[in-house]
Amino acid sequence: MTRDARAWFMYVVRCADGTLYTGIATDVMRRVKAHNAGRGARYTQARRPVTLVAVWRFGSPGAHVQALKAEQRFKSLPRTRKQAIIAVGSDWGSGARIAGEEWSSMNKEADTQYPIHDLLKRRWSPRAFADKSIAQETLLSLLEAARWAPSARNAQPWAFIVGLAGTETHQKLCGCLTGDNPLWACDAPVLVLAVARLEHRPGRENRYALHDTGMAVLSMVIQAMAFDIYAHQMGGFDKEKARAVFQIPEDCAPVTVIALGYLGDPDDLPAGNLHERERQKRTRKPLSEFVFGEAWGAIWPPAGEQGGES
């Protein structure tokens, strides 16, 4: 997709010293994160943290040029005028002002009840992957992470079939996907099929095979995040077809296909509802719905005992 065929955003952040910084981006939340990591702009590097205060959206055609012009005009305004425009919430140039709730939906990070590790917080399952391959060494690190997952009786019941974009294996894996999955996953630079060996030895079932394979996959997924590589697991594929195509033995079960890649632009996804799904807010049940104490359904910690040390 060309620069001008996708949406561009003009954003304003308030720096730690109270000054305003204006920029343009296709992914505002990623840009704000970059500013806060000291990788955004020289100006913001010394004035962190920054807080997003306003966003305007510029649609195609010519979104990039429109956003650039709007940015230049906005930057030339006196501070008081900038503050008035931000406060009123009006459109700017050809850009439509985006409300606060809408930019929070651009942020895919987990909105946690309690603090968690950054790799877990940042992980999510995108469908848009960048047109950038994953180095073999990096991919081997992901598989190494899977290798060191725990498993019942250390049976290590997992196996992986790895398909790099452009190879026959990738094509075959893509051909096994069902539903909407092929629409986006076939563009991922890497597809991996996770398989579980269901028996310790002939006739001796491994009841934890699926559980342990899932753990190995999660190790891979979290290790991937450490390289800024995102994973999207899929149960939507034809298991029997995969078994036949890859000659997977009877005592093994194809479990998931995992699309791996660097984060792409949601606007590059094929038309349909994929754009909206990519920007949907991520949700989870509250802890109180699945963490129990005295009995099944009895919330832990009980009301009044929440909040840690006394």
Ligand X SMILES: Cc1cc2nc3c(=O)[nH]c(=O)nc-3n(C[C@H](O)[C@H](O)[C@H](O)COP(=O)(O)O)c2cc1C
Distance (Å, rounded) from C-alpha 301 to C-alpha 310?
14
Distance (Å, rounded) from C-alpha 76 to C-alpha 62?
22
Q: Which residue has the tokens 């190995």?
A: 216
Which of 141, 181 has the CB closer to ligand X? 181
Q: Is 75 in the site for ligand X (CB under 6 A)?
A: no
Distance (Å, rounded) from C-alpha 66 to C-alpha 59?
9
Q: What does the block give as tokens for 132?
A: 């950038």
Closest separation between CB of residue 218 and ligand X, Å?
9
Any residues with CB less than 8 A from the CB of 110 and at least 6 apart, and which?
116, 120, 121, 122, 123, 124, 282, 284
Q: Is 219 in the site for ligand X (CB under 6 A)?
A: no
Task: Considering only CA atoms, give the Rg of the chain.
Answer: 23
Site string for ligand X, 224-243 (x = CB under 6 A): ---------xxxx-------
Q: Is 44 in the site for ligand X (CB under 6 A)?
A: no
Q: Is 282 in the site for ligand X (CB under 6 A)?
A: yes
Which of 235, 249 has the CB closer to ligand X? 235
Ramachandran area for residue 166 (φ above 0: left; ψ -120 to 50: alpha; else beta): left
Closest separation between CB of residue 294 and ligand X, Å?
30
Q: Is 191 in the site for ligand X (CB under 6 A)?
A: no
Please, what's the largest Cα pairwise distance for the chain?
78
Site string for ligand X, 147-186 (x = CB under 6 A): ----------------------------------x-----
Site string for ligand X, 102-141 (x = CB under 6 A): ----------------------xx----------------
Q: Is 211 in the site for ligand X (CB under 6 A)?
A: no
Q: Using CB under 6 A as the criterion, which residues of the chain lie in contact with ligand X when the complex forms?
A: 124-125, 181, 233-236, 256, 282
